[in-house]
């Protein structure tokens, strides 16, 4: 349809960031935008805990693989295990021992939680576009929604969120 025609006119596809309140269907929308099934974990009991970038597959990040990102480190996993790492209550959402991320770390009892993830995908609906599933921090969303907040304030706060998570 029209979406494919418009995308064909764009020299360099960009990024779509899906933000909103908790449990409002952001991950379902991301899956629809990607057109590749249930890559973004979805369930009535699942809440995304960190932002996830679904990027065009590459040699470094083939389709079906993911990089769970930690401060100063990343851990490669099959995309099918994503919910274990990026959802509230996921098996590894609380973090992994520092020793696992940086061998030789003297204190193994410290858990380092993931801060984000990147998933390689061959999107069928928005090919070449990065789609970000972002569990926008609730207090920032509340600030953005305040009736007395100016349009410029809203745009600045949203821009900060997008810049922080797409760069």
Alpha helices in the chain (DSSP H): 2-8, 26-34, 82-86, 98-101, 138-145, 151-166
Q: What is the mean pLDDT of the chain?
A: 77
Using an 8 Å Cβ cutoff, are 39 and 31 in contact? yes
Both tokens assigned to 151: 């349009």
Looking at the chain, the whole-number percentage of residues with pLDDT higher than 70 is 66
Both tokens assigned to 93: 């959402």
Check residues 135 and 131 and name the one with the higher pLDDT.
131
Distance, CA of 88 to CA of 160 (rounded, Å): 24
Q: Is the pLDDT of residue 3 over 50?
A: no
Q: Where are the beta strands (DSSP E) in the chain?
A: 15-19, 51-56, 65-70, 73-78, 96-97, 111-112, 116-121, 130-134
Check residues 58 and 161 and name the one with the higher pLDDT.
58
């Amino acid at each position: 349809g029209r979406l494919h025609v418009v995308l064909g006119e764009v020299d360099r596809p960009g990024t779509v960031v899906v933000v909103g309140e908790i449990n409002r269907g952001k991950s379902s929308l991301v899956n629809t935008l990607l057109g590749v099934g249930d890559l973004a974990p979805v369930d009535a009991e699942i809440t995304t805990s960190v932002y996830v970038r679904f990027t065009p597959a590459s040699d470094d990040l083939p389709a079906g693989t993911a990089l769970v990102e930690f401060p100063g480190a990343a851990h490669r996993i099959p995309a099918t295990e994503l919910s274990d790492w990026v959802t509230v209550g996921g098996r590894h959402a609380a973090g992994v021992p520092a020793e696992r991320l940086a061998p030789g770390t003297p204190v193994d009892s410290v858990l380092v939680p993931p801060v984000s993830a990147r998933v390689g995908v061959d999107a069928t609906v928005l090919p070449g576009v990065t789609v970000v599933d972002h569990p926008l921090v609730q207090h920032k969303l509340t600030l953005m929604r305040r009736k007395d907040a100016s349009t410029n304030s809203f745009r600045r706060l949203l821009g900060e969120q997008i810049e922080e998570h797409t760069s």
